[in-house]
Copies of this chain bind each other. A is one copy, B any other.
Amino acid sequence: MKLIHPPSSADIIAASDLIRPYIETTPVLHSESLDQLSGSRLFFKCENFQKAGAFKTRGATHALLCLEEKERSLGVVTHSSGNHAQALARAARIFGIPAYIVMPQNAPKVKVEAVKAYGGKITFCKPTLADREETADNIVRQTGATLVHPYNNYDIIAGQATVCHEILQQGVKPDFVLCPVGGGGLLSGTLLSAHYFSPHTKTIACEPESANDTLQSIEQGQWMPVKNPDTIADGLRTSLGALTWPIIKQYVHQVVTVTDREIIYAMHRIWERMKIIIEPSAAVPVAVALKRLPALKDKTVAVILSGGNTNLDQLPWQ
């Protein structure tokens, strides 16, 4: 059953139970070294260890589970080419249905290969948003498949909300949650889970300075999308959507932005000290933790490491 309103606490608990057999319950890691660098007690939620390498697996799997069986059997479509595409292709394979992935002709080979590895059916298009949307619409018409938007979809939001729900279930009692924001699926889900299950916890949206539509929107009090932002955090170049923005506006405690230089430094520190691989987007909340904001001093802070899919042949600090 598809959600037609922002997920309730019961919806998030239900999503969590529904997707559990198909996903990893990812560990929460702690590092003395990062505690010293940040001045906070950091608890890292490792969605880089999630199936298909990112939290997107939660939302995509949940969205598929919410489709009627007949509808689901016709397959799913998306024109995202990043972690959502891999997650959707993986989820579709589990249920034995086709996943049609629309990708621009110039998509990096590593992303094309990753989607292929999960059995996604790729259709290439011109590298414009208009052509991507048109190509996806054509596929919907021809196949009857369902378009699954990467974040502007309440089933997706409920799935992403299970990250924060799981952190709390794992016994962390955070004063703050640091969450990256791109389209806002993970952030809006996190805000709802924190609101329902740990009302004293404040959620900070962590955003690249050059893709700061969330900051601008909050400051202006209205939705302010940005066009073609340039940041190394490739998962966070999208702007908030019509469904995520109202939730974020209502519940977010603060938006903090970081530069690409800070993101790269944070990513390197996590690799070096914790021996785990995170992608640039996941380093954004780490970069916020390393700013040593006075409000976070000595506080218990959950940091969502959103994913680990990065090109190992081109490291940003080289």
Contact = CB atoms under 8 A, between A and B. Distances in A.
Given A315-B312, A318-B313, A271 B277 contact: yes
A275 B315 contact: no
Contact size class for A? 10 to 19
Contacts of A277: 271, 275-277
A27 B275 CA distance: 13
Contacts of A268: 312
A69 interface: no
Nearest to A314: B318
Interface of A is mostly: loop
Interface in A274-288: 274-278
Interface string A262-279: 000000100110111110
Contacts of A318: 313
Contact of A315 (B272, B276, B308, B315): B315
Interface string A236-253: 000000000000000000
A147 B48 CA distance: 42
Interface string A281-318: 00000000000000000000000000010001101011
21 contacts: A27-B27, A48-B275, A49-B274, A49-B275, A53-B275, A268-B312, A271-B277, A271-B312, A272-B312, A275-B276, A275-B277, A275-B278, A275-B308, A276-B276, A276-B277, A277-B277, A312-B315, A312-B317, A313-B317, A313-B318, A315-B315
